[in-house]
């Protein structure tokens, strides 16, 4: 396949199933075209597969979203905000205090919760196929861009639907970070087929600049995780599911832990 950033087709295999563009160094899963994402992001993804129990980690997850919101408010107070990959709506539930909010996600169970339980204006579906009838001041993609089959199409559409001077905020893993380089193929963020693209500061800048964005800032913020999620990821992720007895034991570790391994980046970009 040709690179989504530079369109070159010269590539090299770096890890099993991961390829790197020889021209711009973007890293991606080379079997992404074979994936049926509808099968990946069912309710089980949020409960027992990727996450131990995403829904019941709401309070801890919102600690991270509150920090994201605080960063957004440094640049924009008020206006229209749209989140891609909104899941259960935990970020939008905080942001609605300051913005008119909308969101979209392909996962039906989480978006149903966001609509019915939180009263949020969210849609179940694909953003690239969804027609927006207005422009927005802010777009957010929290830990989402790495999951997308065609992130360049998302960024292109976002650029067309942002007001001039509007902002894009996103978080994703940084494969150019010291930890990612040290861990190599064992870096925890490498787990296709859910993670398809692996950006560095350099490649995310190139993608965004190509579609009319000015990079304002890239930082490496820490995150809150529940201790039960950390233990689950270390011991059970992509392995045999824990027994009911072990699940009950894990639930006793519902404790927020702040971690910064400096391999997750927050990107703030402005529509030129």
Cα 72–152–114 angle (5° rounding)?
Answer: 50
Q: Distances in Å between the alpha carbon of 192 and those of 98, 115, 205?
A: 36, 30, 23
Distance CA(70)–CA(227), nearest Å, equals: 24
In this predicted model, what pLDDT tens digit does every residue of 88-102 receive, in sequence order? 999 999 999 999 999
Residue ranges of domains in the chain: 37-223+262-271
Sign of CA dihedral 155, 139, 117, 61: positive
Distance CA(36)–CA(38), nearest Å, equals: 5
In this predicted model, what pLDDT tens digit does every residue of 231-265 receive, in sequence order? 877 777 666 677 777 777 777 778 899 999 999 99
Q: Considering the domain delimited by 37-223+262-271, tell me its CATH architecture.
A: 3-Layer(aba) Sandwich (3.40)
With contact defined as beta carbons under 8 Å apart, do 54 and 109 qualify?
no
- Per the omega criterion (within 30 degrees of 0), is the bond before 125 cis? no
With contact defined as beta carbons under 8 Å apart, do 263 and 173 qualify?
yes
What pLDDT was estimated at residue 253?
78
Q: What is the pTM of this model?
A: 0.94
Q: How deeply is 231 buried, as exposed, middle or buried, from its count of CB atoms within 10 A (0-12, 13-18, 19+)?
A: middle
- Within 8 A by CB and 6+ apart from 56, the residues are 254
**The most confident of 37-46, 133-142, 245-254, by mean pLDDT:** 133-142
Strands 264-271 and 213-219: antiparallel
With contact defined as beta carbons under 8 Å apart, do 95 and 81 qualify?
yes
């Amino acid at each position: 396949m040709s690179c989504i950033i530079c369109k070159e087709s010269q590539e090299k295999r770096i890890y099993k199933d991961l390829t790197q563009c020889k021209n711009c160094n973007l890293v991606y899963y080379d079997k992404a075209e074979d994936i049926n994402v509808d099968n990946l992001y069912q309710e089980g993804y949020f409960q027992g597969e990727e996450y131990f129990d995403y829904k019941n980690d709401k309070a801890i997850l919102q600690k991270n979203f509150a920090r994201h919101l605080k960063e957004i408010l440094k640049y924009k107070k008020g206006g229209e905000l749209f989140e891609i990959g909104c899941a259960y709506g935990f970020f939008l539930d905080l942001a609605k205090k300051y913005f008119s909010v909308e969101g979209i996600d392909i996962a039906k169970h989480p978006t149903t919760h966001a609509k019915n339980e939180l009263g949020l204006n969210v849609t179940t579906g694909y953003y690239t196929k969804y027609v927006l009838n207005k422009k927005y001041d802010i777009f957010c993609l929290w830990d989402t861009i790495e999951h997308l089959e065609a992130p360049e199409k998302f960024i292109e559409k976002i650029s067309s639907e942002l007001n001039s001077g509007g902002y894009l905020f996103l978080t994703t893993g940084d494969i150019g970070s010291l930890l990612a380089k040290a861990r190599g193929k064992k870096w925890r963020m490498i787990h296709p087929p859910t993670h398809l693209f692996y950006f560095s500061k350099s490649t995310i800048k190139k993608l965004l600049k190509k579609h009319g964005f000015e990079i304002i800032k890239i930082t490496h913020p820490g995150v809150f995780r529940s201790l039960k999620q950390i233990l689950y990821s270390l011991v059970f992720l992509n392995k045999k599911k824990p027994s009911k007895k072990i699940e009950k034991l894990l639930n006793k570790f519902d404790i927020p832990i702040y971690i910064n391994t400096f391999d997750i980046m927050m990107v703030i970009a402005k529509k030129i």
